[in-house]
Chains A and B, each alone.
Chain A
Amino acid sequence: SYELTQPPSLSVSPGQTARISCSGDALPNQYAYWYQQKPGQAPVLIIYKDTERPSGIPGRFSGSSSGTIVTLTISGVQAEDAADYFCQSANSGGPYVVFGGGTKLTVL
Protein backbone atom coordinates (compact mmCIF):
# COMPACT_ATOMS: atom_id res chain seq x y z
CA SER A 1 0.00 0.00 0.00
CA TYR A 2 1.07 3.57 -0.62
CA GLU A 3 2.86 5.31 2.25
CA LEU A 4 4.17 8.75 3.11
CA THR A 5 7.14 8.81 5.47
CA GLN A 6 7.90 11.65 7.89
CA PRO A 7 10.44 11.92 10.71
CA PRO A 8 8.59 11.42 14.02
CA SER A 9 10.08 14.43 15.73
CA LEU A 10 12.11 17.60 15.26
CA SER A 11 13.42 20.12 17.77
CA VAL A 12 14.45 23.67 16.94
CA SER A 13 15.19 26.85 18.88
CA PRO A 14 13.10 29.98 18.41
CA GLY A 15 14.17 31.99 15.40
CA GLN A 16 15.74 29.01 13.65
CA THR A 17 14.46 27.33 10.50
CA ALA A 18 12.61 24.04 10.73
CA ARG A 19 12.43 21.72 7.75
CA ILE A 20 10.10 18.74 7.85
CA SER A 21 10.39 16.19 5.07
CA CYS A 22 7.83 13.81 3.65
CA SER A 23 8.74 11.09 1.18
CA GLY A 24 6.57 8.98 -1.06
CA ASP A 25 6.94 7.24 -4.40
CA ALA A 26 3.91 8.94 -5.95
CA LEU A 27 4.86 12.48 -4.94
CA PRO A 28 6.42 13.33 -8.33
CA ASN A 29 2.95 12.82 -9.83
CA GLN A 30 0.66 13.95 -7.01
CA TYR A 31 0.33 17.18 -5.08
CA ALA A 32 1.23 17.25 -1.41
CA TYR A 33 -0.58 19.06 1.36
CA TRP A 34 0.45 19.98 4.90
CA TYR A 35 -1.61 20.30 8.06
CA GLN A 36 -0.76 21.71 11.47
CA GLN A 37 -2.43 20.25 14.55
CA LYS A 38 -2.08 21.71 18.02
CA PRO A 39 -3.06 19.69 21.12
CA GLY A 40 -6.81 19.33 21.51
CA GLN A 41 -7.54 21.05 18.21
CA ALA A 42 -8.54 19.98 14.74
CA PRO A 43 -5.89 20.06 12.01
CA VAL A 44 -5.49 23.19 9.90
CA LEU A 45 -4.42 23.24 6.25
CA ILE A 46 -1.23 25.29 5.94
CA ILE A 47 0.12 24.33 2.49
CA TYR A 48 -1.75 23.02 -0.53
CA LYS A 49 -0.63 21.87 -3.97
CA ASP A 50 2.99 21.54 -2.81
CA THR A 51 3.73 25.26 -2.41
CA GLU A 52 0.55 27.31 -2.05
CA ARG A 53 -0.40 28.96 1.22
CA PRO A 54 -4.06 29.49 2.20
CA SER A 55 -5.09 32.97 3.21
CA GLY A 56 -4.39 33.67 6.86
CA ILE A 57 -1.38 31.36 7.07
CA PRO A 58 1.78 33.28 8.03
CA GLY A 59 4.43 33.76 5.38
CA ARG A 60 7.04 31.92 7.45
CA PHE A 61 5.40 28.67 6.32
CA SER A 62 6.43 27.46 2.87
CA GLY A 63 6.44 24.24 0.90
CA SER A 64 8.70 22.77 -1.74
CA SER A 65 8.92 19.64 -3.82
CA SER A 66 11.78 17.69 -5.34
CA GLY A 67 11.20 14.26 -6.80
CA THR A 68 9.86 11.87 -4.20
CA ILE A 69 10.36 14.31 -1.30
CA VAL A 70 8.30 17.30 -0.28
CA THR A 71 9.41 19.67 2.45
CA LEU A 72 7.62 22.00 4.81
CA THR A 73 9.84 24.89 5.88
CA ILE A 74 9.10 27.14 8.83
CA SER A 75 11.41 30.16 8.80
CA GLY A 76 11.98 32.00 12.04
CA VAL A 77 10.19 29.45 14.19
CA GLN A 78 8.05 30.85 16.97
CA ALA A 79 6.93 29.18 20.18
CA GLU A 80 3.37 29.03 18.84
CA ASP A 81 4.56 26.79 15.98
CA ALA A 82 5.01 23.86 18.35
CA ALA A 83 2.57 21.30 16.98
CA ASP A 84 2.19 18.09 15.03
CA TYR A 85 2.59 18.43 11.27
CA PHE A 86 1.12 15.97 8.80
CA CYS A 87 1.76 15.67 5.09
CA GLN A 88 -0.95 14.26 2.84
CA SER A 89 -1.35 13.24 -0.76
CA ALA A 90 -3.83 11.49 -2.99
CA ASN A 91 -3.24 8.41 -5.07
CA SER A 92 -5.70 7.67 -7.82
CA GLY A 93 -4.56 4.09 -7.74
CA GLY A 94 -5.87 3.63 -4.18
CA PRO A 95 -5.96 4.24 -1.28
CA TYR A 96 -7.31 7.53 -2.51
CA VAL A 97 -5.97 9.70 0.30
CA VAL A 98 -2.99 8.98 2.49
CA PHE A 99 -1.40 10.84 5.39
CA GLY A 100 2.12 10.74 6.65
CA GLY A 101 2.63 9.55 10.20
CA GLY A 102 3.19 13.07 11.48
CA THR A 103 6.13 15.04 12.85
CA LYS A 104 6.06 16.51 16.33
CA LEU A 105 7.81 19.89 16.27
CA THR A 106 9.23 20.99 19.59
CA VAL A 107 10.35 24.58 20.02
CA LEU A 108 13.09 24.58 22.64
Chain B
Amino acid sequence: EVQLLESGGGLVQPGGSLRLSCAASGFTFSTYAMSWVRQAPGKGLGWVSGLSASGGNTYYADSVKGRFTISRDNSKNMLYLQMNSLRAEDTAVYYCVKGGDYFDYWGQGTLVTVSS
Protein backbone atom coordinates (compact mmCIF):
# COMPACT_ATOMS: atom_id res chain seq x y z
CA GLU B 1 0.00 0.00 0.00
CA VAL B 2 1.38 3.37 -1.01
CA GLN B 3 1.79 5.76 1.90
CA LEU B 4 3.01 9.34 1.94
CA LEU B 5 3.45 10.93 5.35
CA GLU B 6 4.26 14.62 5.58
CA SER B 7 5.77 16.38 8.56
CA GLY B 8 7.38 19.68 9.42
CA GLY B 9 4.48 22.08 9.12
CA GLY B 10 3.68 24.69 11.72
CA LEU B 11 3.48 28.38 12.51
CA VAL B 12 6.28 30.59 11.23
CA GLN B 13 6.74 34.34 11.04
CA PRO B 14 6.92 36.16 7.71
CA GLY B 15 10.44 35.95 6.37
CA GLY B 16 11.11 32.74 8.24
CA SER B 17 12.01 29.26 7.05
CA LEU B 18 10.54 25.80 7.33
CA ARG B 19 11.51 22.39 6.01
CA LEU B 20 8.83 19.91 5.07
CA SER B 21 9.55 16.19 4.89
CA CYS B 22 7.64 13.35 3.28
CA ALA B 23 8.25 9.71 4.11
CA ALA B 24 7.24 7.42 1.26
CA SER B 25 6.54 3.70 1.38
CA GLY B 26 4.77 0.99 -0.56
CA PHE B 27 6.39 1.66 -3.94
CA THR B 28 9.85 1.88 -5.50
CA PHE B 29 10.45 5.50 -4.55
CA SER B 30 13.62 5.95 -6.58
CA THR B 31 11.83 5.29 -9.87
CA TYR B 32 9.12 7.94 -9.60
CA ALA B 33 9.00 11.70 -9.94
CA MET B 34 7.58 13.42 -6.88
CA SER B 35 5.95 16.78 -6.29
CA TRP B 36 4.46 19.15 -3.74
CA VAL B 37 0.99 20.63 -4.14
CA ARG B 38 -0.57 23.15 -1.77
CA GLN B 39 -4.04 24.34 -0.90
CA ALA B 40 -4.69 27.63 0.86
CA PRO B 41 -7.58 27.57 3.37
CA GLY B 42 -10.87 27.39 1.48
CA LYS B 43 -9.12 27.65 -1.88
CA GLY B 44 -8.19 25.40 -4.78
CA LEU B 45 -5.13 23.32 -5.48
CA GLY B 46 -1.84 24.85 -6.54
CA TRP B 47 1.22 23.06 -7.85
CA VAL B 48 4.38 24.10 -6.01
CA SER B 49 7.30 22.05 -7.22
CA GLY B 50 8.33 18.80 -8.88
CA LEU B 51 11.42 16.64 -8.95
CA SER B 52 12.55 13.88 -11.29
CA ALA B 53 13.16 10.34 -10.06
CA SER B 54 16.91 10.83 -9.85
CA GLY B 55 16.60 14.30 -8.38
CA GLY B 56 18.54 15.76 -11.27
CA ASN B 57 15.70 17.88 -12.61
CA THR B 58 13.67 20.30 -10.53
CA TYR B 59 10.68 22.45 -11.41
CA TYR B 60 9.04 25.32 -9.55
CA ALA B 61 5.97 27.48 -9.76
CA ASP B 62 6.85 31.10 -10.45
CA SER B 63 5.41 32.09 -7.07
CA VAL B 64 8.02 30.08 -5.14
CA LYS B 65 11.01 30.11 -7.49
CA GLY B 66 14.12 31.31 -5.70
CA ARG B 67 12.58 30.79 -2.25
CA PHE B 68 11.72 27.06 -2.14
CA THR B 69 14.00 24.12 -2.84
CA ILE B 70 12.78 20.59 -3.50
CA SER B 71 15.05 17.62 -2.90
CA ARG B 72 14.97 13.90 -2.24
CA ASP B 73 17.00 11.15 -0.61
CA ASN B 74 16.33 7.95 -2.49
CA SER B 75 18.32 5.92 0.03
CA LYS B 76 15.82 6.93 2.73
CA ASN B 77 12.66 7.18 0.58
CA MET B 78 12.29 10.82 1.62
CA LEU B 79 11.12 13.95 -0.18
CA TYR B 80 11.81 17.43 1.16
CA LEU B 81 10.73 21.01 0.60
CA GLN B 82 12.92 23.74 2.04
CA MET B 83 10.89 26.94 2.27
CA ASN B 84 12.68 30.25 2.86
CA SER B 85 11.52 33.86 2.92
CA LEU B 86 8.02 32.72 3.71
CA ARG B 87 5.10 35.04 3.06
CA ALA B 88 1.55 35.18 4.33
CA GLU B 89 0.35 33.93 0.96
CA ASP B 90 2.32 30.73 1.44
CA THR B 91 -0.12 29.72 4.18
CA ALA B 92 -1.62 26.43 3.05
CA VAL B 93 -1.84 22.71 3.51
CA TYR B 94 1.12 21.20 1.68
CA TYR B 95 0.61 17.79 0.10
CA CYS B 96 3.36 15.39 -0.87
CA VAL B 97 2.26 13.68 -4.09
CA LYS B 98 3.57 10.81 -6.18
CA GLY B 99 4.16 11.75 -9.78
CA GLY B 100 5.37 14.56 -11.97
CA ASP B 101 2.77 15.22 -14.69
CA TYR B 102 -0.12 13.94 -12.57
CA PHE B 103 -0.55 12.61 -9.09
CA ASP B 104 -1.91 9.17 -8.33
CA TYR B 105 -1.23 9.19 -4.60
CA TRP B 106 -1.46 12.01 -2.07
CA GLY B 107 -0.39 12.35 1.54
CA GLN B 108 -2.78 13.76 4.11
CA GLY B 109 -0.98 17.10 4.09
CA THR B 110 0.79 19.30 6.60
CA LEU B 111 -0.40 22.80 7.48
CA VAL B 112 1.98 25.73 7.13
CA THR B 113 0.82 29.00 8.66
CA VAL B 114 2.82 32.16 8.01
CA SER B 115 1.78 34.85 10.45
CA SER B 116 3.22 37.27 12.96
Listed in ascending order, the chain A residues whose CB lies under 8 Å from chain B are 1, 31, 33, 35, 37, 42-45, 48, 54, 86, 88, 90, 95-102
Cβ-based interface call for B62 (8 A): yes
B44 touches A86 (CB 8 A): yes
Cβ-based interface call for B104 (8 A): yes
A44 touches B106 (CB 8 A): yes
A97 to B50 alpha-carbon distance, docked (Å): 9
A53 to B80 alpha-carbon distance, docked (Å): 30
11 A–B contacts from the bound complex (CB under 8 Å):
A31-B102, A37-B45, A43-B95, A45-B104, A88-B103, A96-B50, A97-B35, A97-B50, A99-B45, A100-B44, A101-B44
CB-based closest 4 A-B pairs: A97-B47, A42-B106, A33-B102, A99-B45
B61 touches A95 (CB 8 A): yes
Listed in ascending order, the chain B residues whose CB lies under 8 Å from chain A are 35, 44-47, 50, 59, 61-62, 95, 101-109
Return the contact of B59 from the options A35, A44, A45, A96 (Cβ within 8 A).
A96
Q: A86-B44, A102-B45 are in contact. Are A42 and B95 (CB under 8 A)?
A: yes
Q: A99-B46, A102-B44 are in contact. Are A43 and B106 (CB under 8 A)?
A: yes
Closest chain A residue, CB of each to CB of B106? A42
A48 touches B104 (CB 8 A): yes
Q: Which residues of A contact B50 (CB under 8 A)?
A: 96-97
Q: Which residues of A contact B47 (CB under 8 A)?
A: 95-99
Q: A35-B45, A96-B59, A102-B45 are in contact. Are A45 and B102 (CB under 8 A)?
A: yes
Q: A43-B106, A90-B102 are in contact. Are A95 and B62 (CB under 8 A)?
A: yes
A35 to B47 alpha-carbon distance, docked (Å): 14
Return the contact of B102 from the options A37, A88, A101, A102 (Cβ within 8 A).
A88
A45 touches B44 (CB 8 A): no
A37 to B95 alpha-carbon distance, docked (Å): 13
Q: Which residues of A contact B108 (CB under 8 A)?
A: 42
New A-B pairs, 18, CB < 8 Å, besides A86-B44, A88-B103, A97-B35: A31-B101, A31-B102, A33-B102, A33-B103, A35-B45, A37-B45, A42-B95, A42-B109, A45-B103, A45-B105, A48-B102, A86-B45, A90-B102, A95-B47, A95-B61, A99-B46, A99-B47, A102-B44
